[in-house]
A and B are shown apart, each in its own frame.
Chain A
C-alpha cells in the first residue's frame, strides 16, 4: 500500500498534477467511483500480467496465481460503455479458455485477402449503426436497381 502511495507521488512529481489527473481520468480510475465493476477489474489487475492488447485497445490480463477460472480477464478500452461483444473473435478463444493461443498469435494465421473487421453489437445504438442488408431501405449505400446506364452530359 505504501508503495502505491509512493509511486503516485512520484508520478505526480514527474508529470505534473494536470497530466496526472488527465491520465487518471483516461485510465478510468475516476469511473471507478460510480462503477464498481470497473473498480473490481482495476483491483484485479494488480499483480496481473498484460498478455496482449487488441486492435481496439482492449487489454488482456492473466494472473496464474489467481483463482482458477478467474485467471484471464479483459479490461475494455471504453471505460463507460463496454460489453462482451467488444472482444474480437481472435481474443475470444483465449479469453474463454478455448485455446492457449493469444489473439496476436491467431491473427497471424488470418488470411490477409479477405475477412471484414470485427464490429461490436450496436443494438439500441440507433439506425445508422445497425447492419442493414444491401437491399434494405435504410442502407445508406443502397444497391442500384436500374438496369441501364444513362447518358451523362459532358462539357460540350
Chain B
C-alpha cells in the first residue's frame, strides 16, 4: 500500500466525520485496522506541529558493530531520527540506520547476501521523498534525513505485514521455527492487531530438498534469501523462483535434491519456518535448549558452533558468528553430525578375554592390566597414536606418559610417516582463512577444499566472486563450486610450474596476492618432502612470501593435526607400528590395523566403537568433544576451546585424566592433576596453544628451510577424502550422515 491510498483514506475519513453529523451509521463505511489511535489521522497528526521533546541520547550501533571507513574522505553525513551519523559512501539507508542504533525490520535483506529489496518490510520515511523508501536498497546520500519512527513509516510496516500474513498459515504452534521466527517476532513488534483478510489462503506443494532440509513451502514469504545463498555462497544453482504473483514459489527447477555441503545454512537464514532442519523436526522447542558456545572438530577449520542441548542430549548444532573463521555459516557435516554422539558409544572399560570376547570391567582392573603389559615390553616397542579428534591436553599427556615409559614413538594420524614439525609455517594456513578473501590467484595442490574444509572453500569462492580470482588446481578431477583451471593431476605439472615453463607460473608471479594451498593429503605420500620442496621453490621464485603477505599455505584435514605438530608428536622411527608390541590408540581409527603385529597388545581409548576397537585388547571409554573442555588449534594456527555441553556417557572419563590415572598405575606419575596444570605444561612446549581465539602466525617462513633434492614419484595425487559426510568416528556413527552419503553422493 502506497502513500496514495493512505492519504485517500485519510480524506475519506475526514469526509465521513463531516457526514457523521447527519448520518451516524455512515461511520462504519471506513474500517481502519491501524491499532495506534494517533495513526488514524495521519494527515492531521503531521499537520499539528507539536513542540519537539528533547531528544534522548544517541544509541550505540546495532550489535555494537564498528564502522570501517576504507577511505576517510568518502564519509558522508546522514541524519537518522534527528541524529547525525557518519557512514562511508555506498552504505545503504538501512546500514546507516544500524550505525545510528536503529534496527530496521527486514526479511529479505541479509548482510552477507546481495540485495533483493522484495519484502518491503524495511520501509522508512525519507524527507522530500514522496513515498516511503525500501531502506535496504536505497543508497544513503549526503544530508539525507531518514525517519524511522514516524506514523507513515509505522503504517507502511503494518501494511506490509498484513500482506505478508495474508498467505502465511496460522500454524505457529506446530512450526519448528516457533520461538525463533523473524515473522513471528516482527508481527508482534510492527504488525497490526487484526487482519482484514477473509478469503482462502494459498497453499504450496512441499519440495524434497534431501535428508537435511525440511520444507513447508506454504509458510514461505518469498524473501529469496535461500535462492541468493545457494547461488552466491554455496555456489550451486539448485534453488530458484518459479511463477509470478500469487503463484510464486521457491523450488528446485526440476525434481532434484540440494547437493551442497553448505545446504544446512538455508535453515538459519530462512526468516520463517519454510526451511527447517529435518533431523531436528518436532524434537524440541528452541526455548528448552541450553546453548553452549563451542568449537567444531569434524574438520581442521574449527568452525565456531553453539551446541544446543536438552538434558544429557545434544539436540542440534548451530553456527556462531566468527568473522575470522566461519563467518556465520557451517558445513552440513558440522551441523548434522550430532546424532553420531548418541550412537555406538563406549561406556564401560572392557578387556578382551581369552575367548576373544569383550567383558566390562572396572577402571582399576583395566588400568592394572595395561600397566602390567607396558612393563613387560621393551620401551622402544611402545607406540602411541593420537586420533583425529584429540585435544591438545590429552596429546600432551599421552606424549609425556609414553616419554616417561621410555618411548618416543608417538604421532597423530593424518600427519604421515615423518612430519615436518620444525617450522610452524610448514604446516599452517599461513595466509589465514579470512585473508584468503583478498587473494587474487590460487594454486590448489592436491587439495579439494570443498570436501576437506568447506568453510575455506567458501572463502575461496568469495574471492573468486568478488576479486575475480583465478584458480589453478592440480589433482584428480573434481567439482569445486567455482571456475578453475585444471592444470594437471600429478607432481609433474608442479615441476613444470617450478621450472617456469608452465603458463600458470606467470599468473602467480604477476598476481598481487597469490595463494598456494597444499593439501595435507600429500603428507601421506612417500615423496612429500620433495613435493613440498618444489612448492617452496615456486613460492620463492614467484615471490609468494613477502613481509606483508604469506601466500604459502597447507590446508590440514583434521582438528587435532595442527596442535599435534605444535606439541611435537613426531615418531622416532618410520616403521614403529610394524615392530610394536604395545600400541596405544587414543581415538585413532584410521591406523592401518593390518600392519600391527598379531602379538601386539592394543589399547583403544576413545568415545566410539569404530574401526579401532576391533583389534583392541583393552577399551577405555573417553569423552567426546561435546563433553569435555579441550584446546584445538585450527588449520591457520588459531587455538580455540571446546566447552562441555552435556555430561559424559556411562563410565567414560576425559582423555587426559585417563592417561594421568594410567601413569600412576604404571608408576610414572605425570606431574599434573588439573586442566590448569596440563596447560601450564603445554605452555612450556607450545605457548601459542594457550592464547585462546587468537591466531598466532608462524614466526619463521619456510624460506629458511634448506632445499631438499629428492626424486619425486610421478604418481598422480589422490583425493584425500572419499566421502565428505563420513570422515571420523562421530560422523561414521551418525545415521544422518549415512543418509546423506547414500542420497547426496549418488553419482
Listed in ascending order, the chain A residues whose CB lies under 8 Å from chain B are 147-153, 155-156
Q: Report the bound CA distance from A100 to B691 in whole Å.
A: 85
The answer to whether A150 and B650 touch across the interface, beta carbons within 8 angstroms, is yes
Q: Which of B439-475 contact A (CB under 8 A)?
A: none
Interface centre among A147, A151, A155, A156 (most CB of B within 10 A): A151
Contact between A151 and B614, CB atoms less than 8 A apart: no
A150–B346 CA distance with the chains assembled, in angstroms: 6
Provide the bound-state CA to CA distance between A147 and B343, in Å.
9
Known contacts A153-B358, A155-B356; A147 and B311 CB within 8 A of each other: yes
Chain B: number of interface residues, binned into ranges: 20 to 34
- Beta-carbon contacts of B299-316 to A below 8 Å, as 1s and 0s? 000000000000111000
Among A149, A153, A155, A156, the most chain B Cβ lie within 10 Å of the Cβ of: A153
> CB distance B356 to A156 under 8 Å?
yes
CA distance A147 to B627 in the complex (A): 14
Task: Decide if B345 is an interface residue (CB 8 Å cutoff).
Answer: yes
Tell me, in angstroms, the Cα distance from A149 to B311 when the chains sit together. 16
Once the chains bind, are B344 and A149 in contact (CB under 8 Å)?
Answer: yes
The smallest C-beta distance from A2 to any residue of chain B, in angstroms, reads: 76
Contact A151 B346 (CB under 8 A): yes
Which residues from A are CB-within-8-Å of B347? 148, 150-151
Contact of B344 among A147, A151, A155, A156 (CB under 8 A): A151
**Contact (Cβ within 8 A) A156 B614:** yes
In the complex, residue of chain B having the shortest beta-carbon distance to the beta carbon of A151: B609
Q: For residues 580 through 612 of chain B, which have their beta carbon under 8 Å from a beta carbon of chain A?
A: 608-609
Considering the complex, which residues of chain B in the window 598-648 have a beta carbon less than 8 Å from any beta carbon of chain A?
A: 608-609, 613-614
Of the candidates B341, B356, B614, B649, the one whose C-beta lies within 8 Å of that of A150 is B649
Report if B201 contacts A (CB, 8 A): no
CB of B356 within 8 A of CB of A151, answer no
Does B357 count as interface, using CB distance less than 8 angstroms? yes
12 residue pairs of the A-B complex, CB under 8 angstroms, read A147-B342, A148-B341, A149-B345, A150-B345, A150-B347, A150-B348, A151-B609, A151-B613, A152-B609, A153-B350, A155-B357, A156-B614
How distant is the Cα of A153 from the Cα of B361 in the complex, in angstroms?
13
CA gap between A149 and B346 in the complex, in Å: 9
> How far, in Å, is A147 (CB) from chain B's closest CB?
4
- State whether B356 touches A148 (Cβ < 8 A): no
Beyond A150-B650, A151-B345, 18 additional contacts (C-beta under 8 Å) are A147-B311, A147-B342, A148-B312, A148-B313, A149-B342, A150-B344, A150-B345, A150-B347, A150-B649, A151-B346, A151-B609, A152-B609, A153-B357, A153-B609, A155-B356, A155-B357, A156-B356, A156-B614
Count of A-B contacts judged by CB separation below 8 Å: 40
Min C-beta distance of A39 to chain B, whole Å:
61
- Check A147 against B313 for contact (C-beta < 8 Å): yes
Complex interface: chain B residues within 8 A of A156 (CB): 356, 614
Q: For residue A154, give the distance in angstroms from its CB to the closest CB of chain B.
A: 8
Q: Assess whether B312 is in contact with A147, with CB atoms less than 8 Å apart.
A: yes
Contacts of A151 in B (CB 8 A): 344-347, 608-609, 613
Q: Rank and list the top 3 A-B pairs by shortest CB-CB distance, nearest first.
A: A151-B609, A153-B358, A147-B313
By beta carbon, the residue of chain A nearest B352 is: A153
Q: Which residues of A contact B312 (CB under 8 A)?
A: 147-148
Contact in complex: B313, A149 (CB < 8 Å): no
Q: Within 8 Å CB of B358, what residues of A? A: 153
**Chain B residues whose CB sits within 8 angstroms of the CB of A148 once the complex forms:** 312-313, 341-343, 345, 347, 649
Which residues of A have CB within 8 Å of B650? 150
In this complex, which of A150, A152, A156 has the most chain B Cβ atoms within 10 angstroms of its Cβ? A150
In the assembled complex, how far is the CB of residue B670 from the closest CB belonging to chain A, in whole angstroms? 28
Residues in chain A near residue B350, CB distance under 8 A: 153
A155 / chain B contacts, CB cutoff of 8 Å: 356-357
CA–CA, A149 and B339, complex, Å: 10
Which residues from A are CB-within-8-Å of B343? 148-149
In the complex, residue of chain A having the shortest beta-carbon distance to the beta carbon of B343: A149
CA–CA, A146 and B344, complex, Å: 13
Q: Which residues of A contact B357 (CB under 8 A)?
A: 153, 155
Q: Which residue of B lies closest to A149 (CB)?
A: B343
* A152 partner residues in chain B, CB cutoff 8 A: 609
A124–B649 CA distance with the chains assembled, in angstroms: 41
Once bound together, how far apart are the Cα atoms of A151 and B729, in whole Å? 12
Q: Which residues of A contact B311 (CB under 8 A)?
A: 147
* B344: A residues at CB distance < 8 A: 149-151
How far is it, in angstroms, between the C-alpha of A149 and the C-alpha of B345 when the chains are bound? 6
Q: How far is the CA of A155 from the CA of B312 in the complex (A)?
A: 30
Interface string of B328-350 (1 = CB under 8 A from A): 00000000000001111111101
Q: Complex Cα distance A155/B356, Å?
A: 7
Q: How far is the CA of A69 from the CA of B650 in the complex (A)?
A: 65
In the complex, how many angstroms separate the beta carbon of A153 from the nearest chain B beta carbon?
A: 4
Q: How far is the CB of A146 from chain B (nearest CB, A)?
A: 8
Q: Give CA–CA (A156, B311) in the complex, Å.
A: 34
Give the chain A neighbours of B313 by CB distance below 8 A: 147-148
Q: How far is the CA of A151 from the CA of B343 in the complex (A)?
A: 7
Nearest Cβ on chain A to B616's Cβ, whole angstroms: 10
**Bound complex: CA A8 to CA B350 (Å):** 73
* CA A148 to CA B312, docked complex, whole Å: 9
Closest to B344 in A: A151
- Of chain A, the residue at the smallest CB distance from B350 is A153
Shortest distance between the CB of B245 and any CB in chain A (Å): 46
* A contact residues around B614 at 8 Å (CB): 156
CA distance A142 to B650 in the complex (A): 19
Give B160 Cβ to nearest chain A Cβ, in Å.
44
Q: Which residues of A contact B342 (CB under 8 A)?
A: 147-149
- Closest A residue, CB atoms, query B348: A150
Cα–Cα distance between A150 and B649 once the two chains are bound (Å):
9
Q: Provide the residues of chain B in CB contact with A147, threshold 8 Å.
A: 311-313, 342
Complex Cα spacing A155 to B357, Å: 6
How far, in whole Å, are A139 and B327 apart by their CA atoms in the complex?
A: 51
A152 to B356, CA, bound (A): 14
Closest B residue to A156 using CB positions: B614
Q: Which residues of A contact B613 (CB under 8 A)?
A: 151, 153
Bound-state CA distance A152–B345 (Å) is: 9
Q: Which residues of B from 509 to 535 have beta carbons under 8 Å from A?
A: none
Whole-angstrom CA separation of A84 from B608 in the bound complex: 56
For A150, give the chain B residue with the smallest CB separation.
B347
CA distance in complex: A52, B357 (Å): 59
Note all chain A residues with C-beta closer than 8 A to B356: 155-156
Interface string of B47-88 (1 = CB under 8 A from A): 000000000000000000000000000000000000000000
Scoring B residues 191 to 212 as 1 if CB is less than 8 Å from chain A, else 0, what string do you get?
Answer: 0000000000000000000000
Q: Which residues of B contact A149 (CB under 8 A)?
A: 342-345
CB B606 to nearest CB in A, in angstroms, measures: 10
A149 to B614 Cα, complex, angstroms: 18
Q: How many Å from the CB of A152 to the closest CB on chain B? A: 8
Question: In the assembled complex, how far is the CB of residue A28 from the closest CB belonging to chain B, in whole angstroms?
Answer: 55
Q: Which residue of B lies closest to A145 (CB)?
A: B312
The CA-CA distance from A151 to B311 in the complex, in Å, is 21
Closest chain A residue to B649 by CB distance?
Answer: A148
Distance between B532 CB and nearest chain A CB, rounded to angstroms: 39
